[in-house]
Amino acid sequence: MNKINIKTLAPVSVIALALSGLFYLLGGCGPSSAEPAKPNVENQPDERIPVYTTQVQTKTVDLPVHASGILTSTAEQRLSFKVGGIIRKVYVDEGDVVRAGQLLAELDKTEIDAQVNQATQALLKAERDLARVEGLYRDSSATLELLENATTARDVARETARIATFNQQYAEIRATRSGKIIRKLMNEGEITGPGTPVFVLFETNVDDWVVKVSVSDRDWARLRTGMPAQVAMDAYPGVSFRGRVTDLAPAADPANGLYQVEIKVTPQGQRFAPGLFATVQIQPGKARDYAAVPIESIIEGDGQEAYVFILEPDDESVRKQPVRVAFLDGDMAMLAETLDTSVEVITSGAPYLTEKKKVKKTASKRSVTTAE
């Protein structure tokens, strides 16, 4: 077994010890291993989202009211029976020209005549009863109360007979004025009810044409009688008819919640007919101011409700602002409520934002049209 010579290792040990001391001295000059290294701020990535902004503008807009409806006339009448029954005879057809007072149709009067006879007989009986009670009262055999009751019964029977006779007269339809039958809605043998239209009579030689349209409560509040209107019809493409608002409904239609507006139209030499489809544009003449923002700044749109992001004064934070869009004008959105023109809205980059994220403002991509 070989023996290790200690003398031969002595120089190596001295060298190792010297190197250990050197490393110890160098380590003492550097930072302590217990202290973390300081981060280099200049090399940290910028997590702010770059965005483009633009200032809110104000535009003054005189927004017209658009609506559509059917052409009709105040000279148009819907003729019907006063009472219900079976239509026995119809004497005219669509397109016939009639004169005032002409008989147009009549009901089967079997039931109506029976009601008249019944009421007449009841009146005769009431008159006989009253005569007997009056004789008894003169002989002091009947009280005053019996006399009064008999008198009341006679009066009631008389009015009932008048009603039956009146209904008998209106079991037929006669023309109320000279004109043309433009629609026949029922035929012989059909059962009709009181007030159910049977004919539509249009008075000839009358140019009293109107378009009836329905508008929302906001548009109704902007309109006044006498305001000018432009009317267009599919029957006359390219022709613009002059109109004027003549009537505003005082209450909304319970069926749809809209208000009816009546616009009188001038034919201007054209031939009109009831039922023509018409579109109407009414210029209220009352402008209002709208806050204008680019369309790309609108996010999360739901109908008229939407949001925009507004840049806070620190130029790094954003605030989500609910807005209501009134209408679109080209590439601009007009807001129903006003916004301070000093604020800036986010345009490009808005879909990627939340209120917790920081932003980095860059130069605006676009310039908003200056308010008129």
User: Residue 303 sits in a domain of what CATH number?
Assistant: 2.40.420.20
Whether residue 275 is found in the same domain as residue 345: no
Whether residue 86 is found in the same domain as residue 226: yes
Question: Quick one: how far is CA 94 from the chain centroid?
Answer: 36
Pick from 147, 170, 193: which residue ends a domain?
A: 170
Whether residue 205 is found in the same domain as residue 147: no
**By three-state DSSP, how is residue 253 classified?**
coil
Whether residue 277 is found in the same domain as residue 215: yes
Residue whose structure tokens are 């930072």: 31
pLDDT score of 241: 94
Whether residue 268 is found in the same domain as residue 328: no
Please count the residues of the chain: 372
Whether residue 67 is found in the same domain as residue 77: yes
In this predicted structure, the answer to whether residue 167 has a pLDDT above a threshold of 50 is yes
- CATH label of the domain that carries residue 154: 1.10.287
pLDDT score of 25: 43
Whether residue 301 is found in the same domain as residue 259: no
Whether residue 192 is found in the same domain as residue 259: yes
pLDDT band at residue 39 using 50, 70 and 90 as cut-offs: low
Pick from 286, 313, 339: which residue ends a domain?
A: 286
Q: Where is average pLDDT lowest: 42-46, 145-149, 249-253?
A: 42-46
Whether residue 204 is found in the same domain as residue 278: yes
Whether residue 242 is found in the same domain as residue 295: no
How many angstroms separate the Cα of 129 from the Cα of each of 124, 146, 159, 179, 210? 9, 10, 17, 51, 59
In terms of residue numbers, what domain contains 71?
A: 63-107+177-286
pLDDT band at residue 45 using 50, 70 and 90 as cut-offs: low
Cβ neighbours for 339, distance < 8 A, ≥ 6 positions apart = 56, 291, 293, 321, 323
Task: Give which of 265, 275, 279 is closest to 207, Cα–Cα.
Answer: 265
pLDDT score of 218: 80
Interval 330-372: pLDDT, tens: 788 888 777 777 788 888 777 777 777 777 777 555 444 333 3
- Residue 333 in any domain: the answer is yes
Q: Helices 144-169 and 110-138 meet at what angle, rounded to 10?
A: 160
pLDDT score of 286: 66
pLDDT score of 36: 54
| pTM reported for the whole predicted model | 0.49
Q: Where is average pLDDT lowest: 53-57, 215-219, 233-237, 368-372?
A: 368-372
- The stretch 301-320 carries a mean pLDDT of 82
Total of domains in the chain: 3
- Residue 22 in any domain: the answer is no
- Residue 188 in any domain: the answer is yes
- Residue 372 in any domain: the answer is no
Whether residue 201 is found in the same domain as residue 337: no
Pick from 120, 145, 170: which residue ends a domain?
A: 170
pLDDT score of 242: 92
- Residue 12 in any domain: the answer is no
Work out the number of other CB atoms within 10 angstroms of the CB of residue 301: 13
Task: Count CA within 13 A, CB hemisphere, residue 136.
Answer: 15
- CATH label of the domain that carries residue 210: 2.40.30.170
Neighbouring-strand partners of residue 289: 60
Q: Write the single-letter amino acid at 226.
A: G
How many angstroms separate the Cα of 334 from the Cα of each of 152, 324, 340, 344? 72, 9, 14, 15
- Residue 198 in any domain: the answer is yes
Q: Where is average pLDDT lowest: 130-144, 291-305, 347-361?
A: 347-361
- Residue 17 in any domain: the answer is no
- Residue 124 in any domain: the answer is yes
Work out the number of other CB atoms within 10 angstroms of the CB of residue 145: 8
Q: Enter the tokens of residue 326.
A: 């009134």
Whether residue 358 is found in the same domain as residue 292: yes
